[in-house]
Amino acid sequence: MNVNSLIEDKFIMEKPRQSLNRRERDRLLRQADILRAAEHVFALKGYHEATMQDIAKEAQYAIGTVYLYFKDKDALYLSLVEHKYRDLLAILKEETVKAKTAKEKIEIFIYETLSFFERNQNFFRIFVSERNKNQEIKVGKLRKLSVVIQHKEFVVELIKSAQEQQIIRSDFSAKQIADILISIFMSVVFNWFKEGSKGIKNLSSMSSFILDMFLNGAAVK
């Protein structure tokens, strides 16, 4: 073992490492392809009625290929939900720190979430059904993802600090009120999507409607 052989070795080692990295990149791109297709199909049909064949077709791969990238249907679905929630949470955290008051934070939360769903309409349907899954006693085989829980906790924290700042009523738990905020939000977004081209509301006016409804309710003042 002379110096040369060591250099040689290192050189040899480097190459596979390089090509492995490229492979990994390609692999991720293809995974992303499949995730995009899955998002579309799951949103359209829901978890149970979406088939792996549907997803493979949408992604323009053979069905076997899908299984090279995801262990099974479950893993594919969970990976999808996880990625999207992660993106959403990252945005929310990044944007809300900029605000000073709790009320501003809630405003930003609503605006950024709306804007996220405008860009990810398909995911909105998955978000809704994922949220309902939390509400079932028996969640089938699909485990509750930690990002989903983190997202929920994030909203609860927003409300909690608003309660501390006397902006939100404290006669009910932050959890209860956070759920109500999300409920109102989903109801409005759903109607927005349903109306489609007709009721093109801009994000700001929708944000303020949701905030107004949440803070002040539906009564004539």
The one among 73, 84, 125, 151 contacting a copy of itself by CB under 8 A: 125
Q: Which is nearer to a copy of itself, 200 or 220 (CB)?
A: 220
DSSP of 50-112, one letter per residue? --HHHHHHHHTS-HHHHHHH-SSHHHHHHHHHHHHHHHHHHHHHHHHTT--SHHHHHHHHHHH
- Does residue 183 contact residue 150 with C-beta atoms inside 8 Å? no
Q: Is 22 in the site for DNA (CB under 7 A)?
A: yes
Part in contact with a copy of itself (CB under 8 A); list of ranges 51-59, 111-119, 147-155, 166-174? 166-174
Q: Is 217 in the site for a copy of itself (CB under 8 A)?
A: yes
Instruction: Report the site for a copy of itself in 69-108 (rule: CB under 8 A).
Output: none
Q: Which is nearer to a copy of itself, 9 or 49 (CB)?
A: 49
Q: Is 62 in the site for DNA (CB under 7 A)?
A: yes
Q: How far is the CB of 41 from DNA (least distance, A)?
A: 10
Part in contact with a copy of itself (CB under 8 A); list of ranges 8-16, 29-37, 107-115, 211-219? 211-219
Nearest to 78 by CA among 26, 130, 132, 136: 130
Report, in angstroms and rounded to the nearest whole number, the Rg of the chain calculated over CA atoms: 22
Q: Which is nearer to DNA, 64 or 196 (CB)?
A: 64
Q: Which is nearer to a copy of itself, 22 or 194 (CB)?
A: 194
- Give me the residue label for tokens 């990994």: 24
Q: One-letter amino acid identity for 33? A: D
Residue 66, CA distances (Å) to 27, 54, 62, 137 in order: 12, 11, 7, 31
